[in-house]
């Protein structure tokens, strides 16, 4: 467990209090009646939630103290806007806000600059997803987001990807116990492809030769930009099956265009 610990300067994380459901309800009732001390207790009683989210950022080149402070801002926003009538746990409501603040901070302090229009779309998507989740209890699909925001579906994945931190081309992205597939293995050399018409023709022919479901999944994943989970739900199969079909399709295409 020690390797998952997040160290924050000046705070003994092992001694942080965790509120139970009954305590949380009483404190929210007090706070919503104007008791600011109750708000302080709610913040201190949910700091471990912020720490649990920071674990996923612990291996990056980030200042954990800074991210913790930013995460607490997200927690405070969640506490200020939380309504007991939502019939949700505070953690369910707070996690997207905390993550949003942390990712926004990382993005704004990143050397890579994203266009304003893509940033605005990403913010609108996050707001819609948060509102949708609070209302329905589950995440919306890319199509539902696209229909609601009146944008092309492929732009949803593009905008959300803009919030992600850059990834090394040597990052392993798949391993089934055999050879590891790295990100660089999935990146096309556009210069070579554009100058090699035979390769493009072979690729098109290959897509027509693979199984219909394999072709459908590749189009959904790499052209429309859907996640494996979204494809699994639309096809009524498991995510593991989608992953397996996708891998087989890619291997088939590689063999065809060699």
* pLDDT digits 0-9 by tens, 156-195: 887 877 666 555 444 454 554 544 444 444 444 444 434 4
Q: What ranges do the domains of the chain cover?
A: 1-109, 113-166, 172-257
Q: Which of 128-137, 142-151, 175-184, 218-227 has the lowest mean pLDDT?
A: 175-184
- Measured from the Cβ of residue 54, the count of other Cβ atoms closer than 10 Å reads 19
On whether the 172-257 domain is CATH 1.10.10.10, my answer is yes
Q: Which of 114, 45, 103 is nearest to 74 (CA)?
A: 103
Domains 113-166 and 172-257 in one fold = yes
pLDDT, one tens digit per residue, over 21-46 is 889 999 999 998 999 999 999 999 99
* pLDDT class of 258 with cuts at 50, 70, 90: low
On whether the 1-109 domain is CATH 1.10.10.10, my answer is no
Q: Are 152 and 146 in contact (CB under 8 A)?
A: yes
Separation CA 104–CA 99 (nearest Å): 8
Q: Which of 39-48, 51-60, 133-142 has the lowest mean pLDDT?
A: 51-60
pTM of the model: 0.43
In the CATH scheme, what is the code of domain 113-166? 1.10.10.10
The pLDDT of residue 185 is 45
The runs of H, that is alpha helices, within 109-211 are 116-136, 142-149, 154-161, 190-195, 197-209
């Amino acid at each position: 467990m020690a390797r998952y610990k997040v160290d924050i300067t000046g705070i003994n994380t092992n001694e942080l209090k965790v509120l139970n459901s009954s305590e949380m309800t009483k404190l929210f009732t007090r706070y919503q009646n104007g008791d600011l001390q109750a708000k302080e207790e709610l913040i201190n009683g949910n700091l471990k939630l912020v720490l649990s989210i920071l674990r996923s950022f612990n291996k990056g080149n980030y200042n954990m103290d800074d991210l913790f402070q930013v995460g607490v801002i997200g927690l405070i926003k969640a506490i200020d806007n939380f309504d007991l009538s939502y019939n949700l746990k505070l953690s369910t409501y707070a996690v997207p806000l905390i993550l949003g603040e942390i990712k926004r901070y990382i993005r704004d302090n990143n050397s890579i600059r994203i266009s304003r229009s893509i940033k605005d779309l990403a913010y609108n998507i996050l707001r819609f997803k948060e509102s949708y989740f609070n209302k329905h209890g589950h995440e919306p699909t890319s199509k539902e987001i696209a229909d609601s925001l009146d944008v092309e579906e492929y732009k949803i994945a593009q905008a959300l990807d803009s919030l992600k931190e850059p990834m090394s081309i040597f990052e392993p992205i798949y391993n089934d116990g055999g050879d590891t597939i790295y990100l660089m293995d999935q990146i096309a050399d556009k210069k070579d492809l554009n100058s090699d018409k035979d390769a493009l023709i072979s690729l098109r022919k290959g897509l027509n030769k693979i199984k219909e479901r394999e072709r459908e999944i590749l189009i959904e994943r790499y052209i429309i930009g859907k996640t494996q989970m979204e494809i699994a739900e639309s096809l009524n199969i498991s995510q593991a099956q989608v992953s397996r079909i996708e891998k087989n399709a890619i291997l088939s295409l590689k063999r065809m265009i060699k």
